[in-house]
Amino acid sequence: MTSVPYTTASVSSAPFSYSVAIVGGGIGGLTLALGLLKYPHIDVQIYESASSFGWIGAGVAIGPNGQRALELISPAAKAAFDKHATPNMWSSKAKNFAAYIVGKGERAGEVIMEAKNETGMQSVHRADFLDELVKAVPAERAHFKKCLQKIEDKDGSPIVMRFSDGTSVTADVVIGADGIHSNVRKYLLGTEAARPVFSGYVAYRGIINMDAAVEALGAEHAQNSTLICGPGKGAKPQLSNRSSAADIYSGQD
């Protein structure tokens, strides 16, 4: 894509010396926007195909390495996570990332391993996390119902993005944060190379309240991070602070 002269906030006096368009306003796009907003010389704009920022799914866990990365990208993004992060409920399990237990057969319930780290398992409900990220992004930086269809990039000219509503905008830099079926990736790699490949793994997810989780799994495994291992399959209860819910995933991983 068009090369952009390297500038930093400390050497640039004029605001908006170049423009960055982020395609997609999921966790990736919003976090990136928050990181770039620190630099007054970058005009960062988000183009999202949906009519508002939205979320699919339930819990999202972020380990200590991911939390450190969030802090480095943007303290506001880390604060968004911290506000709703739900840790293990037992203080004795505070540093447990997961207890791996046998799910089936004679040894069912046996703990094979307890993985520990500096934060233990911490997860948030996606809606809560996204809501906090959205609050930190100025409204005028977000443009909705802008489904990117086509990119035109000629040397020496700004990049043109064409949207399905017939409108177009230009930017010096375009960053794809448009998910697994990314049109930006298709533009860069070609449609075939960008096509996602089914890995053979399937995840089934559901949300149940904590009382039901405790009844099904016992308090220790419902209230603390656990990975229930079976032959070719696993289940992972994931805590969320929403209505004392525990997200239960099961899948082939």
Ligand X SMILES: Cc1cc2nc3c(=O)[nH]c(=O)nc-3n(C[C@H](O)[C@H](O)[C@H](O)COP(=O)(O)OP(=O)(O)OC[C@H]3O[C@@H](n4cnc5c(N)ncnc54)[C@H](O)[C@@H]3O)c2cc1C
User: From the CB of 140, what's the least distance to ligand X, in Å?
Assistant: 18
Interface pick for ligand X out of 20, 21, 22, 23 (rule CB under 6 A): 23
CB of 102 to ligand X, least distance (A): 23
Question: Where do runs of H (alpha helix) occur along 61-204?
Answer: 64-73, 75-84, 126-136, 183-189, 191-194
105: phi then psi, degrees, rounded to nearest 5: 90, -170
**Helix H segments across the chain?**
27-36, 64-73, 75-84, 126-136, 183-189, 191-194, 210-217, 219-223
Residues 6+ apart with CB under 8 A from 198: none
For the CB of residue 133, give the shortest distance to ligand X in the complex, in Å. 10
Torsion from C-alpha of 231, 237, 238, 244, nearest 10 degrees: 170
d(CA 236, CA 207): 12
Distance from C-alpha of 235 to C-alpha of 163, rounded to nearest angstrom: 40
Q: Which of 79, 89, 134, 147 binds ligand X (CB under 6 A)?
A: 147
In the complex, residue closest to ligand X by CB? 26
From 72-80, 93-101, 144-152, 218-226, give the range in contact with ligand X by CB under 6 A: 144-152
- The catalytic residue positions are 205
Binding positions for ligand X, 168-197, rule CB under 6 A: 177-179, 183
Residue closer to ligand X (CB basis): 130 or 217: 130
Q: Would you count residue 203 as binding ligand X (CB under 6 A)? A: yes
247 in contact with ligand X (CB under 6 A): no
Does 137 contact ligand X by CB under 6 A?
Answer: no
Q: Does 27 bind ligand X (CB under 6 A)?
A: yes
87 binds ligand X (CB under 6 A): no
x/- mask, ligand X, residues 41-60, rule CB under 6 A, reads: ------xxxx------x--x
Token look-up 């602070």 returns 241
Q: Quick one: 107 or 181, whose CB is closer to ligand X?
A: 181
Does the footprint of ligand X cover residue 234 (CB under 6 A)? no
Nearer to ligand X by Cβ, of 29 and 35: the residue is: 29
Q: Pull the structure tokens for residue 197.
A: 């490949």
User: Are 236 and 252 spatial neighbours (Cβ–Cβ below 8 Å)?
Assistant: no
Site of interaction with ligand X (CB under 6 A): 23-29, 47-50, 57, 60-62, 66, 146-148, 177-179, 183, 203, 205
